[in-house]
Amino acid sequence: MPFVIEFIAGLVTLSFLFLLYVKYSQTYWSRKGIPYLKPHSLLGNIENPFKRKRGLALDVKASYDTFKRRKIKYGGIYFFTEPIFMPLDTDLIKNILSKDFPHFLGHGFQFNEKYDPLSGHLFNLEGEKWRNMRVKLSPTFTSGKMKYMFKTLLDCGGPMIDHVDNLCKSGESLDIKEILACYTTDIIGSCAFGLECNSFKDPNAEFRRYGRKLFIPSFKVLVLQFLIFWIPTLPRYVPLKFTPDDAEKFFINAVKNILDYRTVNNVKRHDFIQMFLEMQEKSKAEGTEGFTLNEIAAQAFIFFLAGFETSSTTMTFCLHELAFNQDIQDKLREEICETYKKNNGELTYDAIMEMKYMDDVLNETLRKYPPVPTLNRVCSVDYTIPDTNFTIRKGTQVFISSLGMHRDEEYYPNPTKFDPERFSEENKATRPAFSFLPFGEGPRICIGLRFGLMQAKVGLSMLLSNYKVKPEKNESYNIRFDPKAFILGKDGPVKLRTEKLTA
């Protein structure tokens, strides 16, 4: 009996100390003397991640909106007990992302390459390792390299058009979100892994299956994220792993097999794998250290992760808007058809780059629905905000709500209206530069920006030159975002009807 009493007393004391710790941690911003939002629970200013009804992107946007109403330039919120600094002022955001980059070097995601080899990718790396990798990978995305990969994009568009044709003939509506995910999976599979994924022939093809799995965080991943927020250094000491074992095995084997095959058979193709092979040869010739298999696999893995869902959701939202805005769809189709005509019925890289209205429509889509709705940085060296005496301390997390900024009345009046004219040169000049951040900014800006836009332009040109798209009968214009997904996407399918166009 005394043991039970001692045990309960111990538990009560521990709970009490834990509560004191949480309460004290959540006074950080008031102690620092900057505006902050009162945490509404032990979880801080976010909803319960295990219940997720709204999602982190909308939580962060809600904080942005509240600060904005108070007309302040920056403020603090809490993610559990972790203080998060939120800048709103575009000059301050410019400093953080670009001008004073040495104070905010990375995304601050904790990982351990030894236990989780696929986590050692560009997005996670920091410091010298990141710089070296970024320098080596950047030539992969030059316009010269993009031109070479352009044909692969057209080739992957063929099965998509065949698939849509079949559905159109049978009078079925399209689940456009799934169709575009198959299209971009096939492209990234081919360009980053040198493999034909055949997602249209086999919807359960392995690449597509892993694509679905990796974007919905499992319960285990949620628990790990929760733990790491409490103890950020944990992955350095404990063998924690975010990548599921089967996915790790699959992606590393895929890269190993293709590297071996290309080397043994002296096969050359214009894709990312070829570029890695060339870099390896160069390192060998120069006697410098090349990439390990795991390093190559990790980079191919992030190209896959960062490349397929972002572009497919962009195209999905774009077609959703075009279905509800027929005048914009007609104007875009006119430009596309004119481009085909000028190029003897073909689509070329240069022709696609010249489509001005296509750019405006895609930018407006990325404004209203930025696939990465919150940019994050971690402060790597104490940073005093210019003209103030407030210092952001080393280790502090910074959240920039691109979704909040993109839907801010001050920069984009009537923000829920889909209006590509916002991106005319004249209108762009009226806004501060850092008020449009779909790809981030500064030295860590998305490395695959050109590639992502190119695949979206090719996919949209192929679809819109063949079909008129309309909303399915019960499809609602206002979209509910998936609260569980990392990338901003609609909760559930996006249904469209197509009408085949005659020449």
310 scored as a contact of ligand HEM (CB under 6 A) = yes
CB of 38 to ligand HEM, least distance (A): 28
Rounded-to-integer distance, Cα 46 and Cα 36, Å: 14
CB of 253 to ligand HEM, least distance (A): 21
Instruction: State CA 218 to chain mean position distance.
Output: 18
Q: Which one of residues 46, 302, 347, 463 is an interface residue with ligand HEM (CB under 6 A)? A: 302
Binding mask 391-430 for ligand HEM (x = CB under 6 A): ----------------------------------------
88 scored as a contact of ligand HEM (CB under 6 A) = no
Q: Minimal CA–CA distance to 453: which of 150, 137, 135, 140? A: 150
Contact predicate 301/118, CB 8 Å: yes
Q: Which one of residues 62, 447, 479, 488 is an interface residue with ligand HEM (CB under 6 A)? A: 447
Site for ligand HEM in 222-241 (CB under 6 A): none
Q: Which stretch binds ligand HEM (CB under 6 A): 163-171, 214-222, 320-328, 371-379?
A: 371-379
Instruction: State CA 70 to chain mean position distance.
Output: 29
122 scored as a contact of ligand HEM (CB under 6 A) = yes
Q: Provide the token pair at 370.
A: 């930025």
Q: Which residues sit opposite 481 in a β-bridge?
A: 490
Q: Does 446 belong to an annotated binding site? A: yes
CB of 294 to ligand HEM, least distance (A): 16
Phi-psi region of 38 (alpha: psi -120 to 50; beta: other; left: phi over 0): beta
307 scored as a contact of ligand HEM (CB under 6 A) = yes
Residue 428, amino acid: K
Residue with CB nearest ligand HEM? 440
Contact predicate 475/173, CB 8 Å: no
Rounded-to-integer distance, Cα 73 and Cα 229, Å: 26
Q: For ligand HEM, give the closer residue by CB, 98 or 283.
A: 98
Distant-in-sequence, close-in-space partners of 320: CB < 8 Å, separation ≥ 6: 176, 471, 475, 479, 490, 494, 496
Q: Which one of residues 36, 67, 104, 439 is an interface residue with ligand HEM (CB under 6 A)? A: 439
314 scored as a contact of ligand HEM (CB under 6 A) = yes
CB of 187 to ligand HEM, least distance (A): 9
Q: For ligand HEM, give the closer residue by CB, 36 or 210.
A: 210
Instruction: State CA 141 to chain mean position distance.
Output: 17
**Residue list for the binding site:** 446
**Residue list for the binding site for heme:** 446
